[in-house]
């Protein structure tokens, strides 16, 4: 079944349903092996210059917002992977792969924005002498002003911040999907969101196997954060109300074959989107002015 055609049909029938189809389970299941496509810069042509129902400025803003997030995540993993005695040997290949994905996303977004005739986002301190390609270490403070003071000294702390950044990134992409509605970049945006969701699931599995107190599932359940200090990143994830057109449905009232859908299942079924302003507030402690 052609997933792109499904999305197009959903768009035609109900925009609100379409916007809700960014749940992590759905993305993971639907794209399968195609996820790797997002990790490669694509041949960008003139078709990306056409906004298909959205102004080019709005699309470019969304792409630059994504690029801002990808630079931050790339710098985070690039630093961690080059910090001795932080990541156990068995986990190093996984985080090397995640770093490579983030770098490929940076390259893809830069190429796409440039092909549209726009100017790609660059982090603060981009001209700093320590900048190397897409790595701009002076742009970031991954201690978050001291909140994560041991982030590159203590593996559990590193994992907590990795989970928070990835979960927030998935929600951020969800908040921008409607911008790409009817745009040729829709599938690419969904594919990148898929990769980010898999990163989050990978980190969550490592923490679960290590005995993390909240026993994280591969996706956000209710609005449970890895620490109380990161609760703001998960606000709204306990939502059980989803809309179908003008009708709002409480998922916990639906039959599941035995009884009704449990709240933990209802909340895990969707990643609730975050708007651009909220995400920028959440990542601001890690970006140096």
89 burial (CB, 10 Å; 0-12 / 13-18 / 19+) is exposed
Sequential DSSP letters for 200-237: HHHHHHHHHHTT-TT---SS--TT--SSGGGGGGGTTT
Which residue did the predictor score with more confidence, 126 or 28?
A: 126
Tell me the residue ranges of DSSP E strands in the chain: 241-244, 247-250
Residue 205 to residue 196: CA distance in whole angstroms:
14
Assign domain 16-138+146-286 to its CATH superfamily: Ferritin, core subunit, four-helix bundle (1.20.1260.10)
Instruction: pLDDT band for 54, please (50, 70, 90 cuts).
Output: low
**What residues does each domain of the chain span?**
16-138+146-286
Residue 18 pLDDT more than 80? no
Residue 31 to residue 124: CA distance in whole angstroms:
34
Instruction: pLDDT band for 38, please (50, 70, 90 cuts).
Output: very low
The pLDDT value recorded for residue 56 is 80
Instruction: pLDDT band for 46, please (50, 70, 90 cuts).
Output: very low
Q: Find the length of the chain.
A: 289
CA dihedral 144, 148, 153, 156 (to 10 degrees): -130
The pLDDT value recorded for residue 149 is 97
Q: Which distant-in-sequence residues (6+ apart) come within 8 Å of 236 by Cβ?
A: 223, 272, 274
Instruction: pLDDT band for 39, please (50, 70, 90 cuts).
Output: very low
pLDDT single digits (tens) 199-226 = 999 999 999 999 999 999 999 999 999 9
pLDDT single digits (tens) 185-203 = 888 899 999 999 999 999 9
pLDDT single digits (tens) 244-267 = 777 888 988 888 778 998 888 888
Can you give the pTM of this predicted structure? Answer: 0.83
The pLDDT value recorded for residue 183 is 73
Share of the chain above pLDDT 90, in %: 65
Residue 142 pLDDT more than 70? yes
């Amino acid at each position: 079944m052609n997933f792109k055609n499904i999305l197009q049909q959903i768009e035609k029938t109900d925009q609100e349903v379409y916007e809700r189809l960014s749940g992590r389970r759905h993305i993971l299941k639907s794209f399968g092996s195609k996820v790797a496509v997002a990790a490669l810069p694509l041949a960008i042509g003139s078709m990306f210059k056409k906004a298909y129902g959205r102004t080019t400025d709005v699309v470019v803003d969304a792409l630059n917002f994504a690029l801002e997030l990808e630079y931050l995540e790339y710098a985070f993993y690039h630093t961690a992977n080059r910090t001795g005695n932080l990541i156990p040997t068995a986990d190093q290949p996984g985080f090397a792969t995640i770093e490579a994905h983030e770098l490929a996303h940076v390259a893809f977004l830069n190429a796409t924005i440039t092909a549209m005739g726009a100017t790609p986002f660059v982090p603060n301190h981009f001209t700093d002498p320590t900048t190397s390609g897409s790595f701009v270490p002076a742009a970031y403070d991954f201690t978050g002003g001291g909140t994560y003071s041991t982030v590159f000294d203590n593996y559990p702390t590193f994992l907590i911040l990795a989970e928070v950044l990835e979960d927030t990134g998935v929600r951020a992409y969800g908040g921008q999907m409607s911008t790409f509605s009817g745009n040729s970049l829709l599938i690419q945006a969904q594919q990148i969101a898929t990769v980010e969701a898999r990163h989050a699931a990978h980190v969550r599995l490592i923490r679960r196997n290590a005995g993390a107190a909240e026993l994280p599932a591969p996706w956000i359940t209710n609005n449970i954060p890895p620490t109380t200090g990161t609760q703001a990143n998960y606000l709204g994830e306990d939502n059980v109300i989803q809309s179908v057109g003008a009708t709002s449905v409480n998922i916990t009232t639906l039959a599941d074959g035995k009884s009704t859908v449990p709240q933990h299942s209802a909340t895990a079924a969707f990643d609730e989107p975050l708007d651009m302003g909220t995400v920028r507030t959440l990542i601001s402690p890690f970006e140096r002015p």
